[in-house]
Structure formats: structure tokens, C-alpha cells
Amino acid sequence: MYCSRIERPLLPARATQHWVVSFLYMLLTMLCIGLLTGCDRAAKISPSATANSSASSASQSTPVPPKQIALVIKTRSNPFFLEMEKGARRAEKELGIRLIVRAAASETSIEQQIQFIEELIIAKVNAIVIAPGDSQRLVPVLKKAQMAGIKLINIDNQLNPEAMSRARMSAIPFISVDNEQASYEAVRFMTKQVKQAAKAGIVEGIRSAENSNSRLRGARRGFEENPLIKIVASESANWKIDEANIVAARMFAAHPDISLVFCANDMMAMGVLKYLQDQNRNNVLIASYDALDDIRDAIKDGRVLVSVDQQAALQGYQGIAQAYKLLVGESVPLIVKIDARLVSAAQLH
């Protein structure tokens, strides 16, 4: 009895133990399988997730490079273009762009300007602001730049519209003064001094440059409005001091009684002044263009009557600012006129 009462409960206890062990073994097996599957899945997902994370991090940490805008000027031997560069440098600081400046050896170094444009196309700059030495010869290479997607701004000397049309170029915004009107005003300021018959000479800039032609037209108009004045000579000195000195010698040798001279820029006026100084002549009235420091000094001491300040620094600043607007998708006017100011002794004293 005793033994039977004790042995009966032993059978269920063993069975329960066996079931528990089996259940735990099964649970452990399933857990291991799950862990292995999870690890495998993590291994498959991890590389792409890491790559995406790295790419996102890289995109957030890599700064956007600044816009590259090139300024191509005629030369640094003329202080006018140094002022233009100063204005462009101010725009560079304000706008956070990278400015690249290229300057030819002289104002007649047209091939060098063409080479600069070719190099800038290869460099893939975003925009080019150009003061062209020639209104026609630079059109083909600028067409090439335009076709490459480079934004263009024309300052100082306007590209020839007919040459651009023949090349099928899109319109290029232009920034400058009204050269014809400004030279007209300078000459009129001078001719108001004339009370008797007088002869006049004109020293022109590069004849293939539109700004030179505009200044010639304005000067002629100013002289011709005074019936007492006769234009007896008009020659090009290509914007240069030395050439103007030679032109002046030739002009005064042929017409020694010239008493009025208009010079299409201050550099040429310096050449004419040197000739007059060497000849001890102080009875010639001179009107000029650019209002450089040396000519301002000549105005103060009476050797030059008047010059035109065409605000070179503002032209350079506006050229870069307008190019930047194009690059960020803003519209700009096709023509921006800068105010030209007459500089005479009254303004300097």
C-alpha cells in the first residue's frame, strides 16, 4: 500500500520534467535561429545604410564652391582700369564670389584678350565680364563662351550689334556711360570759352572701338555747334601716351594755329601735354576723358580745362553684380547707364 501510494505520483513528475526540458530546448533553438536570421539581415542591410548615412553626412559637411566670375580688362597700364578692378574687388567681397582678373599688356592687345577668353572657357568659369579692346574681333570667341553656357556682361566699350547679329549671339547686357553725350558736354564746356575764330583738333582712340567712335561723334557735334570753330585735324593715337605725343607733333606741324584739342582719353591727353610743354606752348585749351589723377592735377594748374569722370570703379562693381544676378536666376536690364560727370577747376578747388 505504501509502495503503491508512493510510486503512482512519480510517473507524472518525470513526464512533466521531460516536457519542460523539451519546451526549453525548442525555445532555445527558435531563439538561436531568430538571432542568426537577424544578424544575417543586419549584415545585408548594414553596408547600404552606412553608405547612405555617409553620403548624407558628406553632403552636409562639403561647402558649396563660390561662383567664379572673370573680369577681362584692356590693361593695367591705364589707371582707369585699375579703378575698374577695385570696384570689381568690392563686389567680390560683398557677394562672396571668386573673382578672376585678366588684363592685357596694352589696349591694343586684342589677341591677348581673345586668348584669355579661350582659357576661361576651358576653366569653365560661371561668368565673364569684359571690357573689350575691340568691338568686333572679340565677338567670335565670346560667341563660343556663350555656347558653352557662360554668362556674359559687356562693360565700358560696347560690342558691335551687327557683328553680334551676324554671329547669331544672344543679347549681352551692357554697362557704361553715354560716351557720345559725355564728350559732347566736355567739348561744349570748352567751346563756351571761344569768342573769335579758332581751329580745333581731335585725338581719337582705337577706331574699331565703339566707345572711341561715340566720343568722336560727340566731340564733332560739340565743335560744330559753334560757328567760330573749324575742325582741321582728327587722328587716332590708339589710347596711348607715346602715340598721342607723335600725333600732336604732326598735328601742330600742319596746323600751328590750333587752339582747341579734344582727347578721347586722359592717357592721350598726357601725350599732347608733353608735346605742348616741350614746345613752351600754353595757349591751347584741352578737353579730355577719364578724369585720372594726373589730369586732375593738370586741371588744377590750368593746363587742362575739363575731363569726364565715367566712374570706372562703379562700372567694375556693376559688371560683377549684374553677372551674379544672372547666375542666381535674376533678370537684368540690357543697358545700364552710369552717370558721367564733368570735372573742371570749379569741382577741384
For residue range 175-207, list pLDDT tens digits in order: 999 999 999 999 999 999 999 999 999 999 999
In the DSSP assignment, the letter for residue 171 is P
Burial of 42 (0-12, 13-18, 19+ CB in 10 A): exposed
160 contacts 135 by C-beta, under 8 angstroms:
yes
H helices of 193-291, in order, are 210-224, 241-254, 266-278
Say yes or no to pLDDT of 155 above 70.
yes
pLDDT at 280: 96
pLDDT at 10: 37
How does residue 24 score in pLDDT terms, banded at 50, 70 and 90?
Answer: very low
In this predicted model, which residue has the larger pLDDT, 143 or 18?
143
Say yes or no to pLDDT of 53 above 80.
no
Beta strand 229-236 pairing with 258-263? unpaired
The per-residue pLDDT for range 227-255, each reduced to its tens digit, is: 999 999 999 999 999 999 999 999 999 99
pLDDT at 64: 82
Say yes or no to pLDDT of 171 above 80.
yes
pLDDT at 63: 79
Q: Which percentage of the chain shows pLDDT scores above 90?
A: 81
Please, what are the domains in the chain? 68-176+313-338 (3.40.50.2300), 179-309 (3.40.50.2300)
Question: Rounded to an integer, what distance in angstroms lies between the CA atom of residue 63 and that of residue 170?
Answer: 33
* Report field, pTM of the whole predicted structure over 0.75: yes
Say yes or no to pLDDT of 224 above 70.
yes
How does residue 62 score in pLDDT terms, banded at 50, 70 and 90?
Answer: confident
**pLDDT (average), residues 115-137:** 98
Question: Rounded to an integer, what distance in angstroms lies between the CA atom of residue 154 and that of residue 42?
Answer: 60
Average pLDDT, rounded, for the chain? 88
Three-state secondary structure call for residue 196 = coil
Rg of the chain's alpha carbons, rounded to an integer? 39
The per-residue pLDDT for range 25-36, each reduced to its tens digit, is: 555 555 444 444
Question: Rounded to an integer, what distance in angstroms lies between the CA atom of residue 218 and that of residue 280?
Answer: 30
pLDDT at 60: 57
State how far Cα 71 lies from the chain centre: 4
Nearest to 252 by CA among 239, 242, 243, 261: 261
Q: Which percentage of the chain shows pLDDT scores above 70?
A: 83
Half-sphere CA count of 128, side-chain side, radius 13 A: 32
155 contacts 127 by C-beta, under 8 angstroms:
no
Which residue do the cell numbers 576653366 mark? 123
**pLDDT (average), residues 135-140:** 98
**pLDDT (average), residues 8-27:** 44
**pLDDT (average), residues 1-18:** 39
The per-residue pLDDT for range 268-318, each reduced to its tens digit, is: 999 999 999 999 999 999 999 999 999 999 999 999 999 999 999 999 999
Residues forming a β-bridge with 234: 202
